[in-house]
Structure 1
Amino acid sequence: MKHSQKILILDDETTLRGIIAQRLKRKGYDVLEAGTASAGLSFLKDTLIDAVLLDIKLPDGDGLILLPKIKQMQTDLQVIMLTGNGTIESAIEAMKLGAYDYLTKPCNLSELEITLQKALEKRKLLMENTGLRQVVNRQTSEFKIVAESEAMVALLEITRKVAQTDTSVLIQGESGVGKDLIAQAIHFWSSRVNQPYIPVNAGAIPEALIESELFGHEKGAFTGAGTQKIGLVEMADNGTLFLDEIGEMPLAIQVKLLRFLESGEFRRVGDTRLRRVDVRIVAATNRDLRQEITQGRFREDLFYRLNGLTLLVPPLRERRRDIIPLVHHFLNTRRKDLLHKQYSLLPETQEQLLNYSFPGNTRELFHLIERGQILSSDGTISPSDIWPEKSAQALKTPATADSAEGFFHPFANGSYPSLEDVEKAFILSTLKKTRGHKTQTANLLGISVRNLYRKLQAYHMDE
């Protein structure tokens, strides 16, 4: 729901103030009225205001003295001065002090509306520019989903329909399947496409900083808060906020997120004033949130608030028709110029890829292809370039067209492993490559460090 903009009319002329207030309310503005400087400052202390109509002459103060105080209290707020005859010079002086414009009384209401609208547009641009400076490199203009399998084609059809709504969406799927691409699709296929798309990985932000990252903070709110910071929620106003790894979010922040989802309102850390934004929430997780709820690690009320619609992204082993098209997409776009070569796959390499289980899903596929590019001597990627630690014989495992039992596995006894066994082997292999470095291992696996430690403990590998 879009929030109405708050306008404070600070003028001691009751009749004029009432006429202006009535006109602005009919236009959809949320109007506050004050007849004294002290009452106006009280509003500004407790409430976030978008614009102020400020009379130069007030019973308990001078508007020219009050103006700098107002701008200091709320930096982006726009002030339009109201002045009687004979005080034009003072109004011009007010503009030098930061006022947006001035109008003479009695005001032409149509002119006032136009001036107010322009002032609010300026405020929006100021806030967007501030937000853009803080969100550099968070967004990407590149967007493409490769889908040849029936499962992915069906998912994208549903995603297009979901995108046309404004409800919150929960995307579920294993790590590395491309949940972030589905989130981007929801944004790019929605009416919010020209507004911000802000992704945030809830599992990658330290618990002590996540509230500030999401909701922002005021200068001096805590040790190290040397400047004011706009949070990701505020940056996403009118757009989409993608909360990846939502299952990793600490319980204390889950409470604050729930309040925001219910009302669209939040407070920056260190600020008492409520702010409102219009944001579409898309969340993603590789966990079973219902199980997390039973174990007390996730709030049930937050789950139902997020779970307006659920999209399940199938693992790569269940959509093997996508494997080779994904490889071609990777080779032709994302890493085409690596080592200044053109790359292609040998037929046997394609066969081995199609027979591999991909516990790390699409993310692992791209890592394997990148490794093959690096190790290939002539631009032709062989199986040994992708799996240099395996002999060609070890890679030749019989497979059926669509059965999981035919997937290549690194087990010597020839028995078919469970998914847990495959994942455990993949984690061990990655740990070996990083020489036990947990952060590097988590990055290669595409999971958070906390999630890695949890898996190590579950598989009794934490020693």
Structure 2
Amino acid sequence: MENQTSAVIHVLIIEDEDSFRSLLESRLNRKGYCITATASGEEGLKAAREKSFDVALVDIRLPGMDGIQVLQALRQLQSPPEVLMMTGHGTIETAIEAMRQGAYHYLTKPLDLKELELVLAKALEKRRLADRVEGLNRALDRQTGEPEIVGNSPALLKVIDLTRKAASWDIPVLITGESGTGKELIAKALHHWSNRKGKPWIAINCGTLPSNLLESELFGHEKGAFSGAVASRVGLVEAAHEGTLFLDEIGELEVGLQAKLLRFLESGEYRRIGNNRLFKSKVRVVAATNKNLEEAIAAGQFREDLYYRLSGMVLRLPPLRERRGDIPLLVQYFLKRRYPHRQPPIDPSVWERLEAYRFPGNVRELAHMVDRACMLYDGGMLSWHHFVGFCDDGVDRSRSHKPADSAFVYPPGMPLEEVRRRHILATLAMVGGNKAVAAEKLGIGLRTLYRYLEEWNLAQQDELT
């Protein structure tokens, strides 16, 4: 069956044996690929510098430059192709070394042409995914520009200064702080200010998926590797190649998966589920947590060696109560998002009450309060009741962080599932949307809370985590 593609796929062949090179060229031409065939590494590199290729088939034993040298040179191109190495049985060790240096796969001679076509298709799938991610990241950079970090308090300015310094050093960074303080925003700034800007930015919340699914998300899997794996899938560490991988809620990572993550951080190597072959990816890992990892280490819940591998630089984000001077700036910033031309006036008493408020949900909670005020605003001045809202019983719940007793009284006969849903949502509202605090108060795990929210289609993730 001919390969029907909507876009031309360019394949470079570097093979010194004339008859075999002609065979590959003829076979792949019939499949619809656009082939450039060369007999030496120097000739192949000249072609690769003149135009972009999606995949390169490179023989390891070549006259002049050998296949490893060609691979290294191809990897330095602005838009490098995926590289498939071709090797005789006597040079398999060299082929494995090529894999460590970034080759996508190796094939042993005599080649099984059907296997070649299958591996070529998988390499193209990875290439297309990387192109899509890169395109999306370029579009995101154009749309958002430099991340806006609002505030001028000394505590925040110190974090910004350290973030800029860390951005220029290619080391892992661990961002700590309570939920809602802006950890993902700082991680995005770190990526934007680094030399990886324009490369993939991939984020995942380690607290939202069970361990087996999280491993597949991170490292990928092969078709049939487990129940439900109906197709092969590229993992996030592969999609983030040469970019930044942001691991949010790293403290929720189960111990077994911590060991696999540690191995990847140490070597850059990983295995897809269902595949014993080693893959390699070069990414900068930035992790974030609202947990005290030192306490988790003492309790045997987090590996000490992984902590030291992640914490090349530690950035601690201050809670909003430690930077109260930034509250007016943040309020004006959030108001301007809703009213870009002219913001409504605010009753002076609002500032006093905001100053006295504890903000368990930090900046995220303040953002939600401003959104609520805009929703309730009907002209005149914005007053305190616009920011906090009033329930039917007239109790201003923002002052005590404790809902009125009537909020937790449910009519007899209400299904237990509905009681659970209302109770969880009321607890989340009580703590300003802080999921970690809500899970602790409810006596359930954070992952369990996320599962309930997903069942109710309420698992949206805010950027200010």
Distance in 1 (alpha carbons) for counterparts of 2:316 and 2:188: 15
State the secondary structure of the residue aligned to 1:176: coil
- 1:255 equivalent to 2:259? Answer yes
Gaps of 5+ in 2: 1-12, 20-38, 41-59, 74-83, 410-418, 450-465
Contact 1:8 1:34 in 2 (8 A): no
Residues in 2 aligned to 1:357 and 1:304: alpha-carbon distance in whole angstroms: 33
Number of residue pairs matched?
A: 369
- The 1:163–1:228 alpha-carbon spacing in structure 2 relative to 1, beyond 3 Å, is same
Looking at structure 2, the residues matched to 371 and 125 of structure 1 have their Cα atoms a distance apart, in angstroms, of 44
Q: Residue 151 of structure 1 aligns to a residue in which SS? A: helix
User: Would the aligned equivalents of 1:171 and 1:282 in 2 still touch at CA under 8 Å?
Assistant: yes
Using the TM superposition, give the Cα deviation of residue 23 of structure 1 relative to its aligned residue in structure 2, in angstroms: 3.9
Pairing 1:21-420 to 2, within 5 Å after superposition: 22-27=65-70, 29=72, 34-35=87-88, 49-50=103-104, 66-77=112-123, 125-129=127-131, 141-142=143-144, 143-333=147-337, 335-336=338-339, 342-378=343-379, 380-389=381-390, 410-411=399-400
Tell me if the contact between 1:218 and 1:271 (Cα under 8 Å) persists in the aligned partners: yes
Cα distance in 2 for residues equivalent to 1:389 and 1:443: 13
Paired with 1:347 and 1:360, the residues of 2 have a C-alpha distance of 23
Measure the CA separation in 1 of the matches of 2:405 and 2:218. 34
Aligned residue type for 1:380:
M
Change (3 A) 1:184 1:431: farther
Structure 2 CA distance for partners of 1:325 and 1:431, relative to 1, 3 Å: farther
Give the corresponding residue for 1:403. Answer: none
- Which amino acid in structure 2 is aligned with residue 213 of structure 1? E
Q: For residue 301 of structure 2, what is the amino acid of its counterpart?
A: R
Determine the C-alpha separation between the residues in 1 that align with 2:244 and 2:319.
25
Question: Partners in 1 of 2:194 and 2:347 — Cα distance?
Answer: 40
Q: Is the 8 A contact 2:134 2:199 kept in 1?
A: no
SS at match of 2:149: coil
Q: CA contact under 8 A between 2:320 and 2:363: conserved in structure 1? A: yes
Report the CA distance shift for 1:427/1:292 in structure 2 as closer, same or farther (over 3 A): farther
- Between the aligned partners of 1:52 and 1:227, the Cα distance in structure 2 is 21
SS of the residue 2:443 aligns to: helix
Letter in 2 for 1:275: F
Q: CA deviation at 1:157?
A: 1.0
Give the match's secondary structure for 2:364.
Answer: helix
Q: Is the contact made by 1:139 and 1:197 (CA closer than 8 Å) also made in structure 2?
A: no
The alignment yields a C-alpha RMSD, in angstroms, of 4.5
Alpha-carbon distance in 1 for matches of 2:351, 2:210: 41
Task: String of CA shifts for 1:344-370, please: whole Å, max 9, x gaps.
Answer: 422222222122121110011011111
Query: Greater CA radius of gyration, 1 or 2?
Result: 1
CA–CA distance in structure 1, aligned partners of residues 136 and 408 of structure 2? 35
Match of 1:241, SS state, is strand
TM-score (norm 1): 0.67
Q: Percent same amino acid among aligned pairs?
A: 38
Give 1:441's match in structure 2, choosing from 424, 428, 438.
428
Once the two structures are TM-superposed, the CA of residue 25 in structure 1 deviates from its matched residue by 3.5
Cα gap change, 1:303 to 1:429, in 2 (>3 Å): farther
Amino acid at match of 1:410: R
Taking structure 2 as the reference length, what is the TM-score of the superposition?
0.67
Stretches of structure 1 that go unaligned for 5 or more consecutive residues are 1-6, 79-122, 396-407, 412-421
Q: Which letter does structure 2 place at the counterpart of 1:453?
A: A
**Is the contact made by 1:8 and 1:32 (CA closer than 8 Å) also made in structure 2?**
no
1:39-75: per-residue Cα shift (whole Å, max 9, x none)?
Answer: 98x979x968437799xxx7xx5x6xx3332121352
Look up the equivalent residue of 2:202 and give its one-letter code: I
